[in-house]
Amino acid sequence: MALYIDADACPVKEEAKKVAHRHGMQVYVVSNGGIRPDPHPKVETVVVPDGPDAADMWIAERTGPGDICVTSDIPLADRVLKSGAVAIRPDGEAFTAHSIGNQLAMRDLMADLRAADPFRQGGGKPFSKADRSRFLDRLEALARKARA
């Protein structure tokens, strides 16, 4: 049972580590660099080479049943789910086998729309305290379920 954090731009790294410590989980904080190592013995900071999706590939190659991955990356979440692990967004929304296909399709559609109109503005909603709280509640429930 391990927790994998797709750490580049993840706003809940510290919260995720606290939940993992409470449950005795090994934590892998994976990024392309710029992340300070954590002194906790169950936290491994993994710096992957620069390159497209290097952190995602590292995580996807290692996850399996009982593991949890924190990510906003939909293709990574798809690979994690296929490995038998669980994937959760930093806002607490869990990726599921039922919803991942629609999320991948929407991601591709939005990429096509942005490519067709380079002046198209947009972005996600700001990260809120409610998102952080929902994440903590959901991760706690997933960690308890993984231990059972």
Axis crossing angle, helix 129-147 with helix 13-22, rounded to the nearest 10: 30
Q: What pLDDT, on the 0 to 100 scale, is given for residue 63?
A: 97
User: How many Å apart are CA 108 and CA 130, to the nearest integer?
Assistant: 28
Judged against a pLDDT cut of 90, whether residue 43 lies above it is answered with: yes
User: How many Å apart are CA 26 and CA 43, to the nearest integer?
Assistant: 6
Judged against a pLDDT cut of 70, whether residue 24 lies above it is answered with: yes
The predicted-structure confidence for 94-135, as pLDDT tens digits, reads as follows 989 888 777 767 766 666 666 777 776 666 678 899 999 999
Chain center to CA of 25? 16
The pTM score is 0.86
The gap between the terminal CA atoms of the chain, to the nearest Å, is 11
pLDDT, mean over the chain: 88
Chain center to CA of 127? 15
Phi, psi values for residue 119, rounded to 5°: -95, 0
User: How many Å apart are CA 22 and CA 20, to the nearest integer?
Assistant: 5
Report the number of distinct structural domains present in the chain: 1
Range of the domain at 100: 2-147
Is residue 30 a contact partner of residue 58, using CB atoms and an 8 Å limit? yes
Which CATH number covers residue 90?
3.40.50
